[in-house]
Every structure is written in structure tokens, then in C-alpha cells.
Structure 1
Amino acid sequence: MEPSWKHADVFPIIARTIEAAYRELQRFITPQEIAGRLLQDTEERNLVEAARDRQEEKQTLEGLASNMVSWFSRCITVGESDWAQALERTKIDGRWAYKPVRQGDG
């Protein structure tokens, strides 16, 4: 069965969501917050809804958004994502939370 969404389509949107949330909150952004924000923005919610429409066994939108964020995190953890260079992360409540790498650091 073909996946209902592609990393290349979704991961840039997740990274953009993290950057926007960080600009507003100035702290690490938790996976729950990222998934929630994916469903708050109309364009991003449409992407999640389109992915759900392609599923044979429909997940809730919340579950699917959370799954997308989990895959984003997993790919960074196993070294399969270029986003590792653009984002700092730390564990909060046992899950990776993210913020953009500050320019000029390093």
C-alpha cells in the first residue's frame, strides 16, 4: 500500500511550523504543539486532510498530524533528514521538542 503522504511534502511544512511557533513563543516547541498547529493553519490542515482522504483506514486528523511529526522526529534521530542541521532539539516529557538553530551560533 502506498503511503498517504510523502516526507518531502510534509517535512518542510513541519519545519516552517516550528519556525513560526518559535518566533511567537521563543522556546522549544513540543510535538503536540507542532501537530496542533498543523491543524490550525488552513493550508497545513488541507494537507493533513488530503493525506487522510488517501488512507484506507482513516485516522483522526489529530492522529495523522501527530504521526507526521513523529516521522519527522524519527528521520532526524536516525540521520535520514537534512532538517537536523536547521533545528536544535531537546527532550521534553520524553519526546523531542524543536527550535530553529540561531544564526551566528557554532
Structure 2
Amino acid sequence: MRRGQIMIITEFDRENYILRDQLIDLAVLIYPSTYQKEQRTAEELLQPNKVVIAAIEGEQLVGFVSAFQKSDTIWQQEISLVDPRHPDEQIGERLTAFLRDEVVAAGGESLVS
């Protein structure tokens, strides 16, 4: 983590268009052949039936994870994006732990990858 910056793990604010743009940029950075820089990408990643979690440092999105309900008690982790410019911050682990808590709060018993 950069000096003076606090990282927050929270539910992704789907109405925040700055974060949505940053999500597209992050997806394109990590998976350039899969994601194109367009609004449709954000709509696909942020579908309302998904639990979506963000890691935000300062005002910058540095990580994202999502899951959807596969059955009554099983949730499927769909995608995990972590900015490679932020090594050694355990962003992925922190996102997954928060996601697991959200799945349990929604009645899920299992989160599978």
C-alpha cells in the first residue's frame, strides 16, 4: 500500500460511473483479449444478480471480485481482478474473504471457484 493511502474493501457502487470506468480499465489491463474498453463490459461484470466487491485505495479501484448464485446454497466466484501494479498487498485474499462473508449473509453455504 502506498504511504498514506488506506485500502477499503466494500460492495461495489454500481451507480459510481468513475468506478465503473476504472473497472473497465482494470479488466482490459489484465485480460486485454477478453475485455474491450466499452460500457458493455461494465454491464456484464455488474449484473444485478451478482455480488460484486471492490478494493479501493484512495480514489482508485485496485481490485474487484464477483460471484453469482449457482444453487440455493452454492455461489460461484466468477472473476477476480487485481491491479498488478499493487503487489504484496493481499488484495485478492482480502476481496475473497469479504466476498465469502457477503455470500454467507445472503444465505449461501459454499463459495466455489
Output the TM-score relative to the length of structure 2.
0.32
> Structure 1 or 2: larger helix share?
1
